[in-house]
Structure 1
Amino acid sequence: MPSSRDRQARVATYVVYAVQGLSFASLLIQVANLQTKHGLSEGALTLLLLIVPVFAGVGSVAAGTFAARFGSKVLLRVAQPVVAVAVVLAGLAPSVPLLVPVLLLFGVAVGAVDAGMNMQGVAVERRYGVQILNGFHCVWSVFSMLGAAWASVAAALPLPVIMSAPMVLALVGSLVSGRDLCTPEEEKAEDAPASAAAGRFPWRPIIPLCLAMGFLYVGDAAVSNFNTVFMKNVLSAGPQVVPLAYVAYQATTLAVRLGGDLAVRRYGPAAIVRIGGVIATLGFLGVVLAPNQPLAIVAFGLTGVGLSVVAPQSFSAAGKLDPAGTGVAIARVNLFNYIGFIVGAALVGGIADAADMRWAFAAPLALAAVIIVLAPGFEPRRRTANPSAA
């Protein structure tokens, strides 16, 4: 039975996920406006955008080392306000030479927060003793959508105002919630081995989780970066229909995460990930074969259904492998978020240039199918070996 302290930490963690979703959307939804403001070519914009995932990977790795010594609570209390400030600075930056270091700062901080918030989510889940991680990711999705909605409603305002206003809420939320997050002692399982060495963790047991996370984000990058191109250029969709593919993807992602925890409790994480892999594979197959716009929109929705379960279960399984609560396993799994996104953008874009956009979606199709094979790794036995063996 969760204590009042456990419930307090859960609410604080919900706020952390909400702030991260709002902050991330507040920057990325403005990419086109930033391109116009600074007169960037497509190539220059692509190079600028690569700064974020590359340095987010750096931030994620650093977060594992930092959290192993000081805990993810301190990490989040430092890094999450930095994310909000970086979003404000991105809106204010008057030139590209000043925008670049801001994006670098945003990337490092957002990677640290992504890792740290999932460390907190796993810690709360461990204290509750039941699956609740999907709920945290659901909150992230909701506030990401709210960030996009705000940008639409406030589109007539100056860009710095549009980007700064949500960050006032984000900054207050991160500062207030930070006080109630799990402490380093609370992040540890009650029966965690006392000999656990901070910062040392073997790679072997988390390889299936890392690969599944990477393949998930190859698919996510394919959908996020190229759904509009596919709908417009391949299926000749009009401006009112083009956005519906991404709406379907995000809506099904949110819907599945709303009920994801109940499904995992009933059927187990491996079964849910296996089913998700099957549905994602069918979704990408539907995209490749889609003869018309309505079926393509349905197919993109299916990819959201299948892919949405992978990230929460990857972090949950990583936490079970690290009962000492060092956060190293979670930080490493989170790193493959950014690796997958970078590889996915390059792979799908490269195939589209060499062949065509329809066949480009065959790459995430094949990798989604591999997730099915990796599913047993989502029900790992708790690690009992010498934690210093790396």
Structure 2
Amino acid sequence: MGTDRRARAGATAYYLVQGLCFAGLLAQVPTLQDGLGISDAELTLVLLVVPVVAGVGSVLAGHLAPRTGSAVLLRLAGPLVALAVLGTALAPSAAVLYPVVALVGLLLGVVDATMNMQGVAVERRYGRSLLNSFHGAWSIGGILGALAAVLAHSLDWGLVAGLGLVAAVAVVVDLAAAPLLVDHGADVASSATGEDPAVRVPWRPILLVGTAVAIVYLADSAASSWSTKYIADVLGGAGEVAPLGLAAYLGCQLLGRLAADAQVNRFGPVRPVAVGGLVGATGLGLVALAPVPWVAILGFAATGLGLSVVVPLSFSVAGALDETGVAVARVNLFNYVGFVLGAGLVGGIAELTSLRWAFAVPALLALGVVALAPAFRVAARARRGKPLAGAVAPDVAR
């Protein structure tokens, strides 16, 4: 296997494991709640700790990566995420669960940022769009994490055994993939300091693509958290029908990511983002207007398919802005902003009006992705290996 293909395989493995750990934990949340006797309100606070502290982890990764290289951080934080996820099952009380979940969030933020730094570095080596395929691996890992929870329940395993399976697989895969990661040039790691004037990343393009990322994660939060309840309670879907909305969303998100790189390589990044935003907005509109469950399921499928390309391409933009990983870490922050806003906004609107209006608002916001699509044009520079003026020395060994 060539050096570039080894690097691609290593990065893919870490994306897959991150999805496995994240979804594996979320799928066991009801079991965790029952075991500790946590109320719904307290559970909401516990879950909000993860994205808030993950933002801190992303900032930390952006601070350390120019000094150590993203590979060093990822090799360390990747297995620790798996162990922290297992630690949630070992928490004896809610009081202990809070710091454990905070640790999970911190490590997830570090890994989210550094694995995308690796993805950008590999994409630059290939000279063509690859980040959608990496995020597709994350989606596959998420599906496997959910299936791991199904397996654990079917075998009547306890929470420790169920999350222990996820953690064991994750640690083994991470350790096996660690030697394949791209090691950053020693000149970047050794010369960068907190006051290094070379590490200057323009904020305007980050804010533009970051806003698009926040919109996508707001829609993602709505679909992930409320689709089943909407189909069941508002549209009267049967118990076996209601989960199909989420399944359609996640399945089409995966298909979109697996197919998107070819479209980006052919047409450039702007058109896929603009078309994706329009398709996503249309899908959410269908959900809001759906008279029967199958229309909503179709809408969720269109939402996943359309918006799937935005987040991966935002990291391509970050890779074009600088090669130290600072821009990647900053763009990654908008992931958590969108998730937190989505959880509060959708729930608040549903409480004040109805879930129909709660989906109509993200539908309108998704049109903002179409307007922001030109900001993604700079992503093509990363694939040509041409960072913007002011970027520092290359992140990868040539």
Q: In the alignment, which residue of structure 2 is the partner of 1:12?
A: 10
The 3 A distance-change label for structure 1 pair 237 and 72 is same
TM-score (norm 1): 0.93
1:60 has 2:58 as partner: yes
Q: In the alignment, which residue of structure 1 is the partner of 2:310?
A: 310
Please tell me the residue identity of whatever aligns with 1:344: G
Give the whole-Å Cα distance in 2 for the aligned partners of 1:278 and 1:373. 10
Deviation at 1:205, TM superposition (A): 2.2
Give the whole-Å Cα distance in 1 for the aligned partners of 2:23 and 2:298. 24
Q: In the alignment, which residue of structure 2 is the partner of 1:119?
A: 117
Matched ranges for 1:151-166 at <5 A: 151-155=149-153, 156-166=156-166
Q: Secondary structure at the match of 1:361?
A: helix
Summarize deviations over 1:51-97 as a string: whole Å, max 9, x none.
00000011011111111211100110111111001111111212111
Please tell me the residue identity of whatever aligns with 2:167: M
Percent of pairs with identical residues:
48
Summarize deviations over 1:336-355 as a string: whole Å, max 9, x none.
00000000110111111111
Q: Secondary structure at the match of 2:128?
A: coil
Checking the alignment, whether the CA contact within 8 Å between 1:68 and 1:198 is kept in structure 2 is no
1:109 has 2:118 as partner: no
Checking the alignment, whether the CA contact within 8 Å between 1:29 and 1:148 is kept in structure 2 is yes
Checking the alignment, whether the CA contact within 8 Å between 1:281 and 1:369 is kept in structure 2 is yes
The 3 A distance-change label for structure 1 pair 62 and 152 is same
Summarize deviations over 1:322-376 as a string: whole Å, max 9, x none.
1xx2101111111000000000110111111111110111221111000000000
Give the whole-Å Cα distance in 1 for the aligned partners of 2:180 and 2:245. 39
Give the whole-Å Cα distance in 1 for the aligned partners of 2:19 and 2:198. 29
Give the whole-Å Cα distance in 2 for the aligned partners of 1:186 and 1:228. 49
Structure 2: which 5+ runs fail to align?
189-195, 393-398
Deviation at 1:385, TM superposition (A): 3.6
Checking the alignment, whether the CA contact within 8 Å between 1:86 and 1:106 is kept in structure 2 is yes
The 3 A distance-change label for structure 1 pair 326 and 197 is farther
Q: Secondary structure at the match of 2:185?
A: helix
1:202 has 2:223 as partner: no
Number of residue pairs aligned between Structure 1 and Structure 2: 377
Give the whole-Å Cα distance in 2 for the aligned partners of 1:384 and 1:108. 30
Give the whole-Å Cα distance in 1 for the aligned partners of 2:121 and 2:197. 18
Give the whole-Å Cα distance in 2 for the aligned partners of 1:23 and 1:15. 12
The 3 A distance-change label for structure 1 pair 137 and 30 is same
Q: Secondary structure at the match of 1:154?
A: helix
Q: In the alignment, which residue of structure 1 is the partner of 2:181?
A: 181
Give the whole-Å Cα distance in 2 for the aligned partners of 1:359 and 1:186. 53
Give the whole-Å Cα distance in 2 for the aligned partners of 1:24 and 1:197. 36
Deviation at 1:387, TM superposition (A): 5.0
Please tell me the residue identity of whatever aligns with 1:298: L
Checking the alignment, whether the CA contact within 8 Å between 2:135 and 2:257 is kept in structure 1 is yes
Give the whole-Å Cα distance in 1 for the aligned partners of 2:71 and 2:246. 34
Please tell me the residue identity of whatever aligns with 2:178: G
Checking the alignment, whether the CA contact within 8 Å between 2:320 and 2:388 is kept in structure 1 is no
Please tell me the residue identity of whatever aligns with 1:60: S
Q: In the alignment, which residue of structure 2 is the partner of 1:191?
A: none
Q: Secondary structure at the match of 1:94?
A: coil
Checking the alignment, whether the CA contact within 8 Å between 1:57 and 1:335 is kept in structure 2 is yes
Q: In the alignment, which residue of structure 1 is the partner of 2:360?
A: 362
Q: In the alignment, which residue of structure 1 is the partner of 2:276?
A: 276
Please tell me the residue identity of whatever aligns with 1:209: V
Give the whole-Å Cα distance in 2 for the aligned partners of 1:114 and 1:151. 22
Please tell me the residue identity of whatever aligns with 1:46: T
Give the whole-Å Cα distance in 1 for the aligned partners of 2:121 and 2:305. 26
Deviation at 1:386, TM superposition (A): 3.7
Give the whole-Å Cα distance in 1 for the aligned partners of 2:220 and 2:109. 17
The 3 A distance-change label for structure 1 pair 174 and 198 is farther
Q: In the alignment, which residue of structure 2 is the partner of 1:372?
A: 370
The 3 A distance-change label for structure 1 pair 186 and 337 is farther
Q: In the alignment, which residue of structure 1 is the partner of 2:263?
A: 263
1:292 has 2:292 as partner: yes
Q: In the alignment, which residue of structure 1 is the partner of 2:147?
A: 149
Structure 1: which 5+ runs fail to align?
189-195
Please tell me the residue identity of whatever aligns with 1:148: A
Checking the alignment, whether the CA contact within 8 Å between 1:221 and 1:341 is kept in structure 2 is yes
Summarize deviations over 1:104-123 as a string: whole Å, max 9, x none.
00000001100100100010
The 3 A distance-change label for structure 1 pair 199 and 370 is same
Give the whole-Å Cα distance in 2 for the aligned partners of 1:277 and 1:346. 22
Checking the alignment, whether the CA contact within 8 Å between 2:133 and 2:257 is kept in structure 1 is yes
Please tell me the residue identity of whatever aligns with 1:338: Y
Checking the alignment, whether the CA contact within 8 Å between 1:313 and 1:378 is kept in structure 2 is yes
Please tell me the residue identity of whatever aligns with 2:294: P
Deviation at 1:233, TM superposition (A): 1.4
Please tell me the residue identity of whatever aligns with 2:210: C
Please, which moves more after superposition, 154-163 or 172-181?
172-181
Please tell me the residue identity of whatever aligns with 2:67: R
Checking the alignment, whether the CA contact within 8 Å between 2:200 and 2:390 is kept in structure 1 is no
Q: Secondary structure at the match of 2:163?
A: helix
Deviation at 1:281, TM superposition (A): 0.6
Summarize deviations over 1:271-317 as a string: whole Å, max 9, x none.
00000000001001101100101111001111001111111111111
Checking the alignment, whether the CA contact within 8 Å between 1:69 and 1:198 is kept in structure 2 is no
RMSD, matched Cα: 1.6
Give the whole-Å Cα distance in 1 for the aligned partners of 2:301 and 2:187. 36
Checking the alignment, whether the CA contact within 8 Å between 1:22 and 1:146 is kept in structure 2 is yes
Q: In the alignment, which residue of structure 1 is the partner of 2:325?
A: 327
Checking the alignment, whether the CA contact within 8 Å between 1:197 and 1:387 is kept in structure 2 is no
TM-score (norm 2): 0.92
